[in-house]
């Protein structure tokens, strides 16, 4: 009798296990097929007139095992990774002031070029500065000196240029723009060096006042019609700059968030805003991540980690492996590229092809490392690479030449567009691999079912290849110094 009961229980248990295995079997997932689909190719290439130019449609044919002599880009939509939040750029004081100098027709053209998903490149993400930064015409704060209670808080400075500029961008984007905000420095009197610039640290007695300041800023911007999705704790917290800056070690950031900023956001009804740590270069990002996220009390407030690409100032190349280390160690936290631009502006080099190639190289590698959102720096600058109150002039994708009255679209704009126009919020990155190092690639599956495959060739040589998806292949050619987006529909 006991044996029979045991047999029944075993049979029941085995049956339950088998059912569970069957329900979650990969074979039960509908497999993607490219059979019968077409590929629309868009290309931007050096020494041509092609700029996001639509080419002929390609067709898939059944192809078996590729040979080693057949250059191939493999795409596997059955394996998905992170979900894209958005791609965009920073709406700074400098961008807003330059925009104000454009004619009404140029302003409309500019907004359409960036924010229309059909006639432009469809930006969906934005960042802006809390108080002044290097890309402001001057240094400023939102409160009077020694106003610990923030009774004098106001954003009147921003109402002249920046707030109207951001509101136009939101309208141009169809009424929704995922915006996040970053401070460059607390007010000078809150810091131990009594200055907005050249680093310094937040005095302990002002930690609560400074935490309250983030809440004041977010609520005032939202009152003025600019919804704020998230915030970073501090722009470049390990950089002592000639412009607005403030130093936070990893432990100091952790303790400020754990003891002040995190609880203050929650108490202020902003606990659902995405809080992003670090917001500095890839070189030190793992150490920062481990310090912030290994502390459970601090970690609970953090949605993710932001990073920049300026580790190259030390002579290093871009350190994409550090992103991968953070992503594999803390898979529940989100990686965000919060800033990048090319420095040392030279107007005579606005048509230099390497400008866009640096962006393409970074974006492909950043997305493949797990990044969910990618933010360029200033979306618009003038013919000096400014305005900038410390002479730190840089390139932007679009230059508003106020002397000639023309908008100049650098190839940065087109390279970013190969991602932002065709990879939309909600898209999931899918598995992709190239059999040739000359062809860099990443791919996403959009919510409408379209697959977007980006292929970049930085070499001097044309490269024929096949786009291979589960036994179906389409023949294509990558031009020298080009980027192409292949949309499978």
CATH number for 42: 2.60.40.1180
| Domain membership flag for residue 30 | no
Q: What is the pLDDT of residue 58?
A: 98
In a domain, 12, yes or no: no
Percent of the chain with pLDDT over 90: 94
Backbone angles phi, psi at 377, to 5 degrees: -80, -135
Check residue 152 and give its pLDDT: 98
Q: Does residue 218 surpass a pLDDT of 50?
A: yes
- Domain range holding 354? 86-425
Overall number of domains in the chain: 2
Write down the pTM of the prediction.
0.94
Q: Answer whether residue 477 is part of any domain.
A: yes
My answer on whether 347 and 479 are in the same domain is no
Say if CB 485 and CB 42 are below 8 A apart.
yes
Residue 328: per-residue pLDDT: 98
Provide the pLDDT for residue 1.
44
Evaluate whether residue 199 is within a structural domain.
yes
Q: 341 and 205 in one domain?
A: yes
CATH number at residue 179: 3.20.20.80
Annotated catalytic residue 236: yes
Could you say which of 425, 441, 456 is where a domain stops? Answer: 425
> 414 and 479 share a domain?
no
Of 244, 323, 339, 357, the catalytic one is 339
Q: What is the mean pLDDT of residues 126-142?
A: 98
If asked whether residues 313 and 335 sit together in one domain, one would say yes
Q: Is residue 250 part of a domain?
A: yes
Examine the domain organization and report whether 283 and 331 are in the same domain. yes
End position of a domain, from candidates 378, 398, 425: 425
Q: Is residue 203 part of a domain?
A: yes
Contacts of 327-333 with C-beta under 8 Å, sequence gap 24+, read: 327/369, 327/370, 329/286, 329/289, 329/290, 330/289, 330/293, 330/305, 333/289, 333/293, 333/302, 333/303, 333/304, 333/305
Is the predicted pLDDT of residue 471 greater than 70, yes or no?
A: yes
pLDDT for residue 13: 40
pLDDT band at 197 (very low <50, low <70, confident <90, very high): very high
The per-residue pLDDT for range 104-116, each reduced to its tens digit, is 999 999 999 999 9
**339 among known catalytic residues:** yes
> Does pLDDT of 8 surpass 50?
no
Residue 479 and residue 416 in one domain: no
Catalytic residue among 97, 236, 253, 323: 236
| Residues 175 and 274 placed together within one structural domain of the fold | yes
Structure tokens at 403: 């002397």
Instruction: Give the chain's mean pLDDT.
Output: 94
Same domain for 281 and 159?
yes
- Specify if 20 maps to a domain: no
């Amino acid at each position: 009798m006991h044996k029979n009961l045991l047999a029944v229980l075993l049979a029941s248990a085995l049956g339950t296990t088998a059912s569970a295995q069957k329900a979650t079997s990969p074979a039960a997932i509908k497999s993607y097929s490219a059979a019968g689909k077409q590929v629309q190719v868009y290309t931007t290439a050096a020494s041509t007139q092609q700029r996001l130019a639509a080419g002929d449609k390609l067709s898939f044919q059944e192809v078996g095992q590729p040979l080693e002599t057949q250059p191939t880009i493999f795409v596997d939509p059955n394996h998905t990774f992170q979900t894209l939040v958005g791609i965009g750029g920073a709406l700074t004081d400098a961008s807003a002031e330059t925009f104000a100098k454009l004619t009404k027709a140029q302003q409309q053209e500019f907004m359409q070029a960036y924010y229309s998903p059909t006639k432009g490149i469809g930006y969906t993400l934005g960042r802006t500065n809390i108080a002044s930064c290097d890309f402001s015409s001057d240094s400023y704060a939102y409160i009077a000196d020694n106003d610990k209670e923030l009774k004098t808080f106001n954003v009147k400075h921003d109402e002249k240029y920046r707030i109207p500029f951001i509101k136009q961008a939101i309208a141009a984007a169809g009424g929704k723009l995922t915006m996040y905000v970053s401070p460059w420095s607390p007010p000078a009197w809150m810091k131990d060096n009594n200055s907005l610039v050249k680093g310094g640290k937040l005095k302990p007695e002002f930690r609560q006042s400074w935490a309250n300041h983030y809440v004041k800023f977010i609520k005032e911007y939202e009152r003025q019609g600019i919804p704020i999705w998230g915030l970073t704790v501090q722009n470049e917290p390990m950089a002592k700059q000639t412009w607005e800056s403030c130093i936070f070690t990893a432990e100091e950031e952790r303790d400020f968030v754990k003891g002040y900023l995190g609880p203050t956001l929650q108490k202020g009804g902003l606990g659902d805003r995405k809080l992003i740590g670090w917001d500095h270069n890839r070189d030190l990002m793992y150490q920062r991540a481990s310090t912030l996220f290994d502390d459970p009390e601090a970690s609970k407030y953090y949605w993710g980690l932001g990073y920049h690409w300026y580790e190259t100032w030390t002579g290093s190349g871009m350190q994409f492996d550090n992103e991968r280390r953070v992503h594999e160690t803390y898979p529940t936290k989100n990686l965000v590229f919060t800033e990048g631009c090319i420095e040392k502006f030279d107007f005579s080099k606005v048509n230099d092809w390497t400008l866009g190639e640096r962006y393409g190289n970074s974006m492909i590698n950043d997305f493949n490392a797990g990044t969910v959102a990618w933010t360029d720096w200033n979306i618009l600058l003038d013919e000096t690479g400014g305005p900038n109150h410390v002479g730190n002039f840089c390139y932007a994708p679009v230059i508003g030449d106020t002397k000639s009255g023309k908008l100049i679209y650098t190839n940065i704009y087109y390279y970013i567009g190969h991602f932002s126009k065709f990879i939309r919020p909600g898209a999931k990155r899918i598995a992709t691999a190239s059999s040739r190092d000359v062809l860099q690639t990443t791919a996403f599956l959009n919510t409408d079912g379209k697959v977007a495959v980006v292929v970049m060739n930085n070499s001097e040589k044309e490269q024929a290849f096949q786009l291979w998806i589960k036994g179906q292949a389409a023949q294509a050619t990558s031009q020298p110094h080009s980027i192409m987006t292949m949309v499978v529909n």
